[in-house]
Structure 1
Amino acid sequence: MRTSIWSIMGSGLLTVGLVACTEELSMPDRTEGAAFFADNCVSCHGVRGHGDGPLAAGLPTTPSNLATLSRRNGGTFPDARALSYIYGDPMQAHLARVMPQFGGAMAEDLVPVEFDGIMTPTPRVLAGLLAYLESIQE
């Protein structure tokens, strides 16, 4: 297999860019995630994430109990799968989902988050939301 100098340089620049970003950026925490959850998720998932929000009864599908994600995943918080679903899983048509997809403008403010050993550019608000969701696991 032949590797061009341009692909090596591109990989190096991407790595340098990610390292520079991590040094300049403060990473979001569960507090930022809790604020996003309060603004966007409580109406369906409830204050504690149990799927019992005020709109839950009127939905065709019961919202997930977000406080048991780790338990339902063998004791490990499923961060990559949760992010994929929240952000908008490309394998799902948007009309097949009850939950809205969060994407668009939030993709302009990215932070590096490690998923399965790979640093992945992730919308800042969703990185904070993942930290919050992991903190409420029962």
Structure 2
Amino acid sequence: MQKTILRGVLPVGVLLALLACTNPAMPDRSDGAAFFAENCVSCHGTGGRGDGPLANVVSEAPSDLTTLSQRNGGTFPAAQALSFIYGGPYSDGHLARIMPQFGPVMADDLVPVEIDGILTPTPRELAGLLEFLKSIQE
């Protein structure tokens, strides 16, 4: 029994130790705000409400990002948001998208982020963006 526990815990511990050695500071809301300003404002607007200068140009209206928690029963949907931003499939199975996929260019700089109770290696920029998105929820 003890060996089974150690086998499951050891790889996670090793991963976290390596991440801690190579990534000295965890990204925070301000890091995410900078990423948002550089990559998201044109469609989602400065406040994240989907009212950016290109909102009327794209074929599908950008989401109001301030209501993600509200639309998810009061809980911020971190896994769904990360999957959508990173470029993977998300809960409704819809794969057509206007928004660029950011994941492939960020895979080298990972930090541990708790997603649904599981520490998940996440691109640093997206970890900061998740913190920013959590902070703008109504």
TM-score normalised by L of structure 2: 0.85
Q: Distance in 1 between matches of 2:94 and 2:101?
A: 10
1:74 to partner: Cα distance:
0.7
Q: Which residue of 1 aligns with 2:65?
A: 66
What does 1:1-138 align with in structure 2 at a 5 Å threshold?
A: 8=7, 12-22=10-20, 25-90=24-89, 93=95, 96-138=96-138
Amino acid at match of 2:16: L
1:11 to partner: Cα distance:
5.7
Larger Rg: 1
Q: Distance in 2 between matches of 1:83 and 1:52?
A: 21
Q: Distance in 2 between matches of 1:13 and 1:71?
A: 36
Q: Distance in 2 between matches of 1:13 and 1:62?
A: 42
The 3-state SS of whatever aligns with 1:131 is helix
1:58 to partner: Cα distance:
0.9
1:13 to partner: Cα distance:
4.0
Question: What are structure 1's unaligned runs of at least 5 residues?
Answer: none
| Aligned positions, number | 131
Q: Distance in 2 between matches of 1:65 and 1:103?
A: 22
Percent of aligned positions that are identical:
62
TM-score normalised by L of structure 1: 0.85
Amino acid at match of 1:56: A
The 3-state SS of whatever aligns with 2:56 is helix
Amino acid at match of 1:105: V
The 3-state SS of whatever aligns with 1:57 is coil
The answer to which structure has the higher helix fraction is 1
| Conservation of the 8 A alpha-carbon contact between 1:44 and 1:51 | yes
Q: Distance in 1 between matches of 2:74 and 2:38?
A: 28
Task: Tell me how large the CA RMSD over aligned residues is.
Answer: 2.2
The 3-state SS of whatever aligns with 2:131 is helix
1:105 to partner: Cα distance:
2.5
The 3-state SS of whatever aligns with 1:15 is helix
